[in-house]
Amino acid sequence: MNIAIVYSTYVLVILLSSSLSANSVTFQDVVLKEWEEFKLKYDKQFESSEDYFRMKIFMENKHKIAEHNALYVRGLKKYRLAMNEFGDKLHYEFIQTMNGFKRLYRNRYENGTTYLSPANVAIPKQVDWREKGYVTPVKNQATCGSCWAFSSTGSLEGQHFRKTGVLVSLSEQNLIDCSTKYGNEGCNGGIMDQAFSYVKNNHGIDTEKSYPYEGMDGKCRYSKRNIGATDSGFVDIPEGNEEKLKEAVATVGPISVAIDASHDSFMFYAGGIYDEPKCSTTQLDHGVLVVGYGTNISDDYWIVKNSWGTNWGISGYILMSRNKENQCGIASQASYPLV
């Protein structure tokens, strides 16, 4: 899509609307007030011409959210949507910016170990590793397609805690800047298994404190003096097998997964159990972290940590449908590091 054409079209629509009758002015005042409040809340600033363009997108997104929530109120949807900081983005702009998992579906990286089910272990009906201290606070990748790095550090943070009893926040920026030789592309995307391989061969990854997040590609500044954790490889969960993923989450800890997060419903998710029939099990574009699972009456769900800050979803988390034929591909490319 040519953004210049879309931009010109939207500006024309806004300009034409200024010629409407006096009865429309009141509505426009309301729209302008909501738009100004949105910009103030999320610290958005635009040149005057682009401001019209972004306001039109904002109003269209508000309309989509309202339509969905009307179905939610009637009990026809199990999750609700809400306006957030992405409200001024066109759909494809959002995807290009935020979803950075490289779509090398089932092209497993070298040296991975196949997952084996634990013997004689009872799998609990529900698990939440946040309650056990395995999970760091929700982070924010900002406008960098580095979701893969956050998914990787999240799983490694959990495994390091499992082994040492110490929760250390690890450096996503270290992975962004230093793992390109393993096939990752920084803010243009990457794969969690390749990040785990980098950490193994590098003999460590720095702490977030020593190598803070910048949200852009940079020169590698890894220092072995600041190692926060390391791994000896990674384990791949059998493709598309939610039962095996459940076993791994229950017995190992937080697991890195890739999902299809390309829908408006995911972009504006705000609560409830996410159920998107249009989700693909193969077109995976976003790396996240499964930190638990459970059941609400008859609806099974995964507890998933995202990397879009705490203003998105349920304080940065989403409940995704479980046992619905691998919806959104949540079990299609799951793995965790060996520590």
State the pTM of this model. 0.90
% residues pLDDT > 90 (the chain): 82
Per the DSSP assignment, residues forming a β-bridge with 190 are 101
End-to-end CA distance of the chain: give it in Å, rounded. 45
Catalytic entry in 61, 202, 306, 326: 306
Sign of CA dihedral 94, 100, 104, 106: negative
The rounded distance, in Å, linking the Cα atoms of 176 and 178 is 6
Task: With cut-offs at 50, 70 and 90, classify the pLDDT of residue 29.
Answer: confident
The rounded distance, in Å, linking the Cα atoms of 297 and 320 is 15
Residue with tokens 């449908």: 321
Task: With cut-offs at 50, 70 and 90, classify the pLDDT of residue 213.
Answer: very high
> What is the per-residue pLDDT for 105?
44
- Residues near 243 by Cβ (< 8 Å), separated by ≥ 6? none
What are the φ/ψ torsions at residue 175 (nearest 5 degrees)? Answer: -70, -40
Would you mind telling me the total number of residues written for the chain in this entry?
339
What letter would DSSP give residue 70? H
Domain chopping of the chain, boundaries = 2-81, 91-338
Residue 23 annotated in active site: no
**Two structure tokens written together for 69:** 């929530």
3-state helix, strand, coil in the chain (%, to 5): 40, 15, 45
Catalytic entry in 68, 84, 160, 286: 286
Residue 188 annotated in active site: no
The rounded distance, in Å, linking the Cα atoms of 256 and 298 is 26
Catalytic entry in 147, 187, 279, 328: 147
Q: Is the pLDDT of residue 224 over 90?
A: yes
> What is the per-residue pLDDT for 103?
59
The rounded distance, in Å, linking the Cα atoms of 308 and 316 is 7
Residue 279 annotated in active site: no
Q: Is the pLDDT of residue 18 over 50?
A: no
59-87 residue pLDDT tens: 999 999 999 999 999 999 999 999 999 99
113-148 residue pLDDT tens: 989 999 889 999 999 999 999 999 999 999 999 999
Q: In this structure, which CATH number among 3.90.70.10, 3.20.20.70, 3.40.50.150, 3.40.50.920 belongs to the domain 91-338?
A: 3.90.70.10
C-alpha distances out from residue 230 to 73, 175, 255, Å: 47, 12, 16
**Two structure tokens written together for 170:** 């690890």
C-alpha distances out from residue 23 to 14, 36, 48, 281, Å: 16, 21, 25, 48
